[in-house]
A = this chain, B = another copy of it.
Amino acid sequence: MAEGFRYQQLEAWLLQGIADRRWRQGERLPSIRTLCREQAVSKATVQHALQRLEARGLVEARPKAGYFVAPQPVAVQQPLARARIEAPRPVTASDLLLDIMGRSAAFDLLPDHQGGEIPPGIVALNRSIGRSLRRQSGDDFQYYDQPAGDNGLREQLALHVSRRGWKVDPDQLCVTSGCQHALFLALMACCRRGDVVAVESPGFYGVMQLIEQLDLQIVEVPASSDKGMDIDALEEVLQRWEVTACVVSPAFATPSGAMMPDTAKKRLLDLAEQYDLAVIEDDIYADTAFEAVPDPLKALDADNRVILCSSFSKCLSRDLRLGWVSGARWHARILHLKLVTQLASSRYLQQGVADFMEDGSFAAHLRRQRNQLRERRDRLLALLQAWPEVVRASDPRGGLAVWVELPEHVDTLAIYSDALEQGVVITPGPLFSASGQFRNCLRISFAHPWEKARVGALNRLPALLFGS
């Protein structure tokens, strides 16, 4: 048998294994040494075969980790479910949503399972906060920080976002207790009771709950996994009803994972000016971008009507409870509301984070995290393709979750309790709609380490969803 024949044989054998799902997308192939031994070929033959598969985009070499089955872009079919446009109405949060949020489970199938190693970025962050606390002196403890937040942190944030084409004066930033708090201040500042707020559908349930608590009304605008909010649909909504504000997440919206194209961003801002809308931009997922971080809508905001809200919760730590808001023409009112409802944020905590940003630790953390998240996305998508029924799934380039569309007959809401009995917490599609749409959809997170317990939970899902 010629050498050429041997590597071709091996290549064909590997291809068959991938097709048979012996090794699934995102999974590691046997090591070179194992292949040499089991297939009785030389190391050079194995390397040649693998390199040919790599050149065809079918496997990926990862330094020090080996060869992995590459995700197949053509294999992912985008979800098709599209929201209906309905008249504005008040929101009533479901008990189910409160249950899920109370379990801190919104991004985890297994919230009680603590696993993985503490990432080096978090270790560095904690050290930085510890140093900041030790620097405290005199009767500093007798003073509240200024309501807008620590100057040093706001300067670091301004520098951080300047790389995304947004030049902001630190005076136009206000530190908050997370993005949800920022969204709350934004909605409270620009809306009055009864006002109508347009949101993406499917969209973030936290915004819907704020709309409920502030006695506002909601109108859902269809959004897709590839382009985000449908701007034609938004225009239709604006023509039909008087809308005060529009909440939108152009960078990897949850749950759709969409990145809004630049042309859509520009049209959105034109409509905002035409209909005198406040635009509330939820930018919380931007820094998870697996490739380039997209510029925010705010960078195009010539008319000073985009309120940008964000936080460190998705890209660094949910336990920091630090976010920020830049309130455009409503900024003074937002600052006042921050002061009146909470006085200030912790100065020492903020200074610890500012140091962590300044010394480059934050940038290093983001780089590591992006690679991790991309890999976990690929593994999740590969696993979904092995499910017994056809599922459609978003293929996000950032964020922490995949939006999964199942066959019409599947009712994810009805399955919630059964899944919980098996120790799995799912996030059913209807949670992402104020009118209970998307019953055959599901958001599945890839935020957590790809561990045996979580893979096991994912593998228990098909039986629950499709019946045995």
Contact = CB atoms under 8 A, between A and B. Distances in A.
B141 A318 contact: yes
A184 B341 contact: yes
Interface string A2-27: 00000000000000000000000000
B143 A101 contact: no
> What are the 4 closest A-B residue pairs judged by CB atoms, nearest first?
A141-B317, A126-B133, A130-B130, A116-B139
A263 interface: no
Interface in A137-193: 137-147, 177-178, 180-181, 184, 193
Nearest to A132: B126
A40 interface: no
A142 B342 CA distance: 25
A422 to B, nearest CB: 21
Task: Count identical subunits in the complex.
Answer: 2
Contacts of A321: 342-346
A456 to B, nearest CB: 17
A206 interface: yes
A154 to B, nearest CB: 15
A147 B101 contact: yes
Interface in A90-132: 98, 101-102, 104, 107-108, 111, 114-119, 122, 126, 129-130
22 contacts: A104-B143, A104-B144, A108-B143, A114-B138, A115-B138, A122-B141, A126-B133, A129-B133, A130-B133, A141-B319, A144-B313, A144-B319, A180-B342, A184-B340, A184-B341, A184-B342, A206-B343, A213-B336, A320-B346, A321-B343, A321-B344, A349-B349
A134 B128 CA distance: 11
Given A130-B130, A210-B340, A143 B111 contact: yes
A408 to B, nearest CB: 32
A347 B213 CA distance: 25
B104 A342 contact: no
A369 to B, nearest CB: 11
Given A115-B139, A139-B448, A184-B341, 4 more contacts: A104-B143, A118-B137, A122-B136, A206-B343
Contact of A343 (B139, B146, B180, B343): B180
A341 B213 contact: yes
Interface residues of A, number: 65
Nearest to A128: B133
A94 B98 CA distance: 39
Interface in A283-334: 313, 316-321
Contacts of A181: 341-343
Nearest to A193: B193
Contact of A146 (B102, B349, B449): B102
A343 B206 CA distance: 9
A318 B143 contact: yes
A146 B319 CA distance: 11
A119 B142 CA distance: 11
A337 interface: yes
Given A126-B134, A139-B116, A348 B336 contact: no
A437 interface: no
B126 A138 contact: no
Nearest to A350: B319
A209 interface: yes
A104 to B, nearest CB: 5
A233 interface: no
B145 A104 contact: yes
A130 to B, nearest CB: 4
B98 A118 contact: no
A447 B142 contact: yes
A244 to B, nearest CB: 16
A459 B98 CA distance: 57
A108 B143 CA distance: 9
A339 interface: yes
A110 B53 CA distance: 71
A209 B336 CA distance: 10
Given A144-B319, A209-B340, A318-B143, A136 B111 contact: no
